[in-house]
Structure 1
Amino acid sequence: MTSSPTARALLLGVAATLVQLTMVIAFAWPATQIEPRDVPLVVAGPQSAAVAQQLEQRQPGAFDIEERADEAAARQALADREAYGAIVTTPAGPRVIVASAASPLVSQQLTQVAQQMAGVKTVPVQDVVAADADDPRGSGFGAMALPLVMSGIAGAVLLTLLIPSVPGRLTGTITFAVLGGLATAGLAQGWLSILPGSYLAVSGVMALTILAVTGTVAGIAAAIGRAGIGLGALTFLLLGNPLSAATSAPELLPEPWGMIGQLLPPGAAVSLLRSVAFFDGANAGGPLTVLLAWAAAALALFGIGALRSRRPQEAEPADRREPALAS
């Protein structure tokens, strides 16, 4: 029995409301849960053990503290992306060393913690790996994640709806990844000036991100049908983007969500871009592996889709073919 237009309209209204609530929760909830959780931090200097103990007493579980021999070793830990910041004890009081390019928000929080510990309004702060001078708060960098995801999903939708053949969709995906990576990197480094580093390296990260997002969504659609568009889009948009930690850091999100975010293309792309643009590729292995795995999965899905599209033709029985005319 078919439902009436009024009933269908009511059901669509309920469904739209549920989608809206889900999107609000997905985007707003992580932002309300931002606080340090095992944030890698280095302490150095003659009173480093006392500082570590004091930090743990003030904020249990907030920092994953490692002691280093001296200030030089602390600086190296920041340059290698092994820590977000360092507190160096001196006879004149604590000094804070940060790498704001890794996370401006963590740098601010660390400075506030050092001020509270020292009981003064200001403490000396040195930024050894700073964010781009034209984007000191990292807001422009953080704003890049959502457009990359949405444009990647949009590309997958257009390719799926407009290109009938699976090989054609794969060709379009690779073309989009290469040209989109080159163009987006040029925009970010040129006109917007929010990303330093090698243009080829940055464009490579952008291209790999587009391939992972667009390829996966279009690949799922090729493998299981157009319903795959919704599955892939919701995964990347409602999970990947809010959990990417583009404006914060994975360690500021509740677990396991911070870790999950880094296993999805948006979070891995953000981490890899930070490493390539600001830290000469330090600690890039993890996020690079994640993006390569998603890209490989996308290619495998296209392969499944190609086999799926051929199967009906190959399975057509001989007795259903057009019989030859009798002479």
Structure 2
Amino acid sequence: MTRTTRGGGLDGDPSTGFLSEVKDAVSTRTALLVIGVLAVQLAFIASYIGAFHKPKPHEIPIAVTAPAAQITDQAVEQLRALPGKPLKPRAVKDEAEALSQIKNRDVDGALIVDPRAPGDRLLVASGAGASLSQALEEILGATEKAQKRTLTVTDVVPDDPGDARGLSSFYLVVGWCVGGYLCASALAISAGAKPANPARALIRLCVMLLYAIVAGLLGAVIAGPVLGALPGSVMALWGLGSLLVFAVGAITLAFQGIAGVVGIGLAILLVVVLGNPSAGGAYPYPLLPGFWRGIGPVLPPGAGTFAARSIAYFKGNGAGGPFLILAAWAVGAAAVTLVLSFLRQDKKALDDRLTEAATAPRRDPS
């Protein structure tokens, strides 16, 4: 039985005190990591609440058409002059062109003006996000009411019955992103946070690619045929998922090559803290504050969400740009991972030569 010596340390050693025990239990490195975790946590709270606490429409692209060009131009100017610039109207030739632009994802809605009727018609696409179509209904409904006219709303690209509020694409993308950075973290931590050499880095990237192919397929099958949450091509979703998972995994490996274990936190900061609230899931880009609206399209979650909705509801229209963004992340991060491994190998070889030279026995000049 261990006794605590009066005035001694917590382990009974009189030569140690409470502060010494604290220093032994929590090293400086551990304390810095805990502070880092706190910073990521606070950034998470600030980012999510900052993005979602007060959605406000900003320059939602909308097509406008009327029987006469003069009436169309007049309607465009009226909508452009709305306080706060909630809409970004553009004149189109006719309803057919307006519908085509909606389905090509060039605009998020269309106002069909008919001065001969008691009201006008609004075309929306809830497949692009229910909150976005609702915002258009509210804005234009109030505008029509002020003019003592009615508004008839037609959903030309409705979300699927199994896809509540069009959020399944976002949740699928979040799942793929989580798998990407967790797999990469497991690969790196299992044998040290930094790649020891180019061969190990290349092996990890190859394993990451195989994982991404499997994860992309299974995610697409679960969201599509199994749960019936997303329509659209399973093959296209598979390709998107594989590219997204590999891109996020490669980003994580690159950050780990730069900062070691801390790189995992940097990957979470980029993908989760900044990427998820700006992805356009719950609130599409035109409803987000400026900072999140600006970064969302170029981060993996945002590019993935936009592409997934395009595949599910718009026959892939508009998905080309997001695919290129994800490909750039994947190629760039993989290149950084490999370059860092070569640099580290060269540095290790140089250190070994210097150590060998320093410890080699010196010859007697005589």
1:286 corresponds to 2:314: no
Aligned to 1:180: 215
Q: Secondary structure at the match of 1:64?
A: strand
Between the aligned partners of 2:326 and 2:36, the Cα distance in structure 1 is 33
Aligned to 1:26: 47
CA drift at 1:175: 1.1
Please tell me the residue identity of whatever aligns with 1:254: P
CA drift at 1:209: 0.5
Between the aligned partners of 1:15 and 1:228, the Cα distance in structure 2 is 11
CA drift at 1:236: 1.2
**Percent of aligned pairs with the same amino acid:** 29
1:143 corresponds to 2:171: yes
- 1:180-212 deviations in whole A, cap 9, x for unaligned? 000100111022222211111111001111011
Please tell me the residue identity of whatever aligns with 1:157: S
Between the aligned partners of 2:336 and 2:287, the Cα distance in structure 1 is 34
Aligned to 2:353: 317
Change (3 A) 1:15 1:301: closer
Aligned to 1:306: 341
Between the aligned partners of 2:339 and 2:258, the Cα distance in structure 1 is 5
Between the aligned partners of 1:209 and 1:319, the Cα distance in structure 2 is 43
Q: Secondary structure at the match of 2:127?
A: coil
CA drift at 1:214: 0.9
- 1:252-278 deviations in whole A, cap 9, x for unaligned? 222243121111111111111122222
Change (3 A) 1:209 1:14: closer
1:70 corresponds to 2:94: yes
Change (3 A) 1:230 1:15: closer
- 1:77-130 deviations in whole A, cap 9, x for unaligned? 101111000110123211010111122111111112232222279732221122
- 1:212-253 deviations in whole A, cap 9, x for unaligned? 101110132135533322222211111111111112211222
Please, which of 114, 126, 131 is the counterpart of residue 159 of structure 2?
Answer: 131
Q: Secondary structure at the match of 2:61?
A: strand
Change (3 A) 1:136 1:75: farther
Please, which of 260, 282, 302 is the counterpart of residue 295 of structure 2?
Answer: 260
User: Which consecutive residues of structure 1, in runs of 5 or more, have no partner in the other structure?
Assistant: none
1:105 corresponds to 2:131: yes
Aligned to 2:236: 201
Please tell me the residue identity of whatever aligns with 1:148: W
1:117 corresponds to 2:147: no
Between the aligned partners of 2:173 and 2:311, the Cα distance in structure 1 is 16
How many pairs were matched up?
Answer: 322
- Say which is worse superposed, 211-220 or 224-233, in terms of deviation: 224-233
TM-score, L = length of structure 2: 0.79
User: Which consecutive residues of structure 2, in runs of 5 or more, have no partner in the other structure?
Assistant: 1-18, 193-199, 361-366
Between the aligned partners of 2:108 and 2:35, the Cα distance in structure 1 is 44
Q: Secondary structure at the match of 1:66?
A: strand
1:295 corresponds to 2:316: no
Aligned to 1:155: 183
Please, which of 223, 237, 240 is the counterpart of residue 275 of structure 2?
Answer: 240
Please, which of 58, 80, 83 is the counterpart of residue 37 of structure 1?
Answer: 58
Aligned to 1:210: 245
Between the aligned partners of 1:147 and 1:28, the Cα distance in structure 2 is 21
Aligned to 1:222: 257
TM-score, L = length of structure 1: 0.88
- 1:23-76 deviations in whole A, cap 9, x for unaligned? 111111100242111111111113333332332343342111101121111101
Between the aligned partners of 1:197 and 1:17, the Cα distance in structure 2 is 41
Between the aligned partners of 2:176 and 2:149, the Cα distance in structure 1 is 40
Q: Secondary structure at the match of 2:226?
A: coil
Q: Secondary structure at the match of 2:160?
A: coil
Do 2:310 and 2:317's aligned partners in 1 also have CA atoms closer than 8 Å? Answer: yes
Change (3 A) 1:84 1:312: same
Change (3 A) 1:18 1:176: same
Please, which of 78, 81, 91 is the counterpart of residue 105 of structure 2?
Answer: 81
Between the aligned partners of 1:233 and 1:136, the Cα distance in structure 2 is 27
Do 2:44 and 2:273's aligned partners in 1 also have CA atoms closer than 8 Å? Answer: yes
Please tell me the residue identity of whatever aligns with 2:44: M
